[in-house]
Every structure is written in C-alpha cells, then in structure tokens.
Chains A and B, each alone.
Chain A
Amino acid sequence: DTGVSQNPRHKITKRGQNVTFRCDPISEHNRLYWYRQTLGQGPEFLTYFQNEAQLEKSRLLSDRFSAERPKGSFSTLEIQRTEQGDSAMYLCASSLLGGKGRAEAFFGQGTRLTVV
C-alpha cells in the first residue's frame, strides 16, 4: 500500500492520559500535514512539516500538543493530559512540493480519538 498510513485507527483513552498517533506519508512526499475534524465539520489545520522542519502551527495546537517528524519521514502527534474536548478524528496528509508536484494532498484514514 503506497498511500498515507495512520496508526492506530481508533484510540479510547481516559481523561488526563497521554496519547501518541503515528503517520507514515507517501514516501517521496516532502510535506506532511496534521488536521483535526469533529463531527459535522470540515478538517481544521493543526500543523505542517516540510521535510523535518515544522513550518507552521495553528493556534488550535495548544501546549499539550506536540508533533515531530524526525528525519523527514514518518510523523507523530502527541497529546498530553487529554481532555474530553480533544475527542475528534485526527487526519494526516502528505503532498509533494516542487518539480511537477501539483500540491494535491493525500489523506490517511485518520485516527479517531475518544476521551472518556
């Protein structure tokens, strides 16, 4: 499978616990994005990387959220001290910038987080 892969697909956690999600982008893609989507809404931008550099973070990304992309390949999104309001679908996308890249973003299936 050469698409964007996200793990786990589902996560149920107790309030106050830490959770970490992983995203494996399409291998040649240099840009990686994280979005959050709640029921009935469109995806909201959280952060993006170009290669290993985190270039932009949304104000939605509180201090409890941290994302990394070591070596410019896979990425992790960690949420510390989870709150019920963190319950959402977390989507990862990747794209290829430059050359013949047309900047379409390809999305993974998402990780659905439920905080109880």
Chain B
Amino acid sequence: SQQGEEDPQALSIQEGENATMNCSYKTSINNLQWYRQNSGRGLVHLILIRSNEREKHSGRLRVTLDTSKKSSSLLITASRAADTASYFCATVPLGGNQFYFGTGTSLTVIP
C-alpha cells in the first residue's frame, strides 16, 4: 500500500501564481523527497528533506516538513507553464530502504 497521500489531487493556477501541494504520510521517516513527472515520462527528483530538517529551498521550490504532523508541503513560486506536471512525495521509512510514493498532485499552470 502507498505510504503517502498528496493534497489536492489536482490544482489549476495562472502563470505567475504560487502553487502549494501537501503530502501526508503514515509512519516515521528517514527522509522525504519530492518528484515531478511529466505525462508518460519518468520521475525527476526535485528535492530531499531529512527528518531533522524543517525547511529547504531550491530555486523556486520551498519544502517544509512537520514530523509531528507527519506532513510536508511543496511550494512552487512564480509558476510557469513548464511546471505543468504531476508532483509526488516519496518517503523512506525509518529503518527502511525503499521509497513509498503518494498518489500525486496534478498541477496545471495556465499561460
């Protein structure tokens, strides 16, 4: 079964706006990662945040992690049409080795 769940399932915004998507997970984790997937393609790694970190930035991406609530958020600032894709969070459970993916958020950025 999948570990995580993204919210919302789908998000549609205008170019230039910010997009926020959330991920909730079930068990204690080693780290949490966010991936992007364009339609019919493989996944592209975006950012990794460790369980002892609360916030990380990479370019227009900002990720937060709240281990007490077992949740993470991904913020994409100043969105572009090219950001249109599905976004997945993946967790590595504490003591585990595989990545468990959520169900994904489908983001559409309207030019």
- Please list the residues of chain A having a beta carbon within 8 angstroms of any beta carbon in chain B: 4, 6, 31, 33, 35, 40-45, 48, 50, 55-56, 89, 91, 93, 102-110, 112
Indicate if the CB atoms of A106 and B103 lie closer than 8 Å. no
Number of A-B contacts (CB under 8 A): 60
Write out, one digit per residue, whether chain B residues 55-95 have a CB within 8 A of any chain A CB (1) or not (0). Answer: 00000000000000000000000000000000010101000
Indicate if the CB atoms of A42 and B104 lie closer than 8 Å. yes
B92 CB contacts on chain A under 8 angstroms? 103
Indicate if the CB atoms of A44 and B2 lie closer than 8 Å. yes
Indicate if the CB atoms of A42 and B88 lie closer than 8 Å. yes
Indicate if the CB atoms of A45 and B43 lie closer than 8 Å. no
Cβ-defined partner of B42 (8 Å) among A48, A50, A91, A103: A91
Measured in the bound complex, the distance between the Cα atoms of B109 and A112 in whole Å is 26
Indicate if the CB atoms of A103 and B48 lie closer than 8 Å. yes
B40 CB contacts on chain A under 8 angstroms? 89, 112
Indicate if the CB atoms of B42 and A110 lie closer than 8 Å. yes
Measured between C-beta atoms, what is the minimum distance from B66 to chain A in Å? 21
B33 CB contacts on chain A under 8 angstroms? 104-105
Indicate if the CB atoms of A105 and B45 lie closer than 8 Å. yes
Indicate if the CB atoms of B100 and A45 lie closer than 8 Å. yes
Indicate if the CB atoms of B45 and A106 lie closer than 8 Å. yes
Chain B residue, CB-CB nearest to A55: B97
Can you list 12 residue pairs at the A/B interface with Cβ under 8 Å? A35-B101, A42-B4, A42-B88, A42-B103, A42-B104, A43-B101, A48-B97, A48-B98, A93-B43, A105-B99, A107-B35, A108-B42
Measured in the bound complex, the distance between the Cα atoms of B39 and A109 in whole Å is 11
